[in-house]
Amino acid sequence: MKNLTVLFSTVVLLFSAFTAKAGEPFFCVTPGSTLYYERYDTDNGKLMQTTFFEIDSKVPQGNQSLVKYFVTMKKANGKPIFGGRTALEVIFGKSGETQLDFGLSVSSFIKNIFKNLTLTTEGNAAVLPAVMKPGDKLPDAHCVVRAGALKLTIDVTERTVLREETITVPGGTYKCIVAREHKVEDAPFHHVDTWSDSWYAPGIGYVRHDVYNSKMKLEASEILVNKK
């Protein structure tokens, strides 16, 4: 069930995009761009997984823009997680707000493995305002994904913008907004309660993502290694 935690962490990061000024999302929207990340176990320093983003296209839709992209996650041994390359999309409003259908994104990963599985989802699109500053409280997020009698639930709460900070990772040096959130995942034989701090850079998205357990012990850190 550890793969569920990997999946849900990634989906949460996909919609956690902030904007320094109206119309400038902290999310990569340039077709042809790629971002490569590595996640490490902070106890032993070992590589846990890699994540590769490919920005496919940006299509105007009235006052909005639809960005389509692909995500490929792999274990440290190179084996694909959740069937490998997965197609996703996010919408940016005219004033820079970010909208992502949380449930459909999770479903896309699951159906990458179980292609004939019938899934239903609940929950509205996760929406974020266009301008953020330290001290801001962000809207909670919630989704339910069902496959017959089986149910997956994700709740993301206590979302707070902590500070502005400039950090250096292998992929470069970036001025970031740092945000914290509390995430609870529930599914059959699976319950995870974690906190996370994420560093978001304009035009990139997250460049670092630290995961803590329910007692705020740091367990993993993911960093941007390369951007093209």
Number of independent structural domains in the chain: 1
Is pLDDT at 171 greater than 80 in this prediction? yes
Bridge partners, residue 227, by sequence: 35
Query: Residue 190 is part of a domain; what is its CATH number?
Result: 2.40.360.20
Q: 175-215 pLDDT, tens per residue? A: 999 999 999 988 888 899 999 999 988 888 899 999 999 99
Bridge partners, residue 70, by sequence: 54, 87
Q: 70-90 pLDDT, tens per residue? A: 999 999 999 999 888 999 988
Neighbours of 23 (CB within 10 A): 13
The maximal CA–CA distance of the chain, rounded, in angstroms, is 49
What is the arithmetic mean of pLDDT over 18-39? 76
The owner of tokens 């292609």 is 115
Contacts 24+ apart (CB under 8 A), 187-190: 187/1, 187/4, 187/150, 187/151, 187/152, 187/153, 188/150, 188/151, 189/1, 190/1, 190/4
- What per-residue confidence (pLDDT) applies to 111? 83
- What per-residue confidence (pLDDT) applies to 128? 66
- Residue range(s) defining the domain that contains residue 52: 2-227
Q: 135-168 pLDDT, tens per residue? A: 999 888 888 988 888 888 888 899 999 999 999 9
Contact between residue 118 and residue 147 where contact means Cβ atoms under 8 Å apart: yes
Is pLDDT at 133 greater than 50 in this prediction? yes
